[in-house]
Structure 1
Amino acid sequence: MEIPFRSQKFLAKTAGFMPRRHRKPDRDNIMGITRPAIRRLARRGGVKRMQKAIYETTRDVVLDRLRLIIRQLVDVLESADTNGKGRKTVTTRDVVYVLQRLGSPIYGFGTTMSLR
């Protein structure tokens, strides 16, 4: 069976593979926090059993916390005045500072910084 408008040379060059014409449907990125991941975190915290609704609630809590942290990070970067412009790159030091400012310090990233 011959494919119209396609030469044999073209098919040999592409090995029969054509580029995708349709994109995969986008899914919400928060769904990347999977049920098994939530279950592992809960197990580490000592939870034995969970209701089905806890997964969606956990995702909502994580999303709210991330929004708060990112909002604080933007404030830190905008306040870093360099020639009248804020910085654009977030460093680990910025994240450690923001988490400490929010009252949940992260361990293993050097000495604690003064908030004054």
Structure 2
Amino acid sequence: MSCSKAVKLKRVGLILALVFMLTLSTGLYPAFAADLEAGMYEQVLPPAPSLTPTYSISGTVISDETAAVIAIQQRLVSLGYDTGGIDGIYGPKTRGAVMLFQASRNLIVDGIVGPQTLAALGFY
């Protein structure tokens, strides 16, 4: 860094320190801090898109993963598989029921409800 840049940075730092001390001594700090804080929390970027996968079950698009799991559990229970209840949680019992179903349909037994398993369950 050049000498003139270093001198300018020191001046800017001193000016900022003086402004800060003046705001503290005059009682303006709380208002100044409130303005700074309000600016800090402004939303700069649009919200990120949802990363929840979407499912199409019987022609209805379901973006809520829980609703999709409930539909899968209902179908498995109606076919006689024990999912441990219809609660929307893809837990060990639901995964086991999916694996048994996959084995009964000569599908790859991985416990993942992909397109082939959904089709075999009658969702496509």
State the TM-score, normalized to the length of structure 1.
0.29
Larger Rg: 2
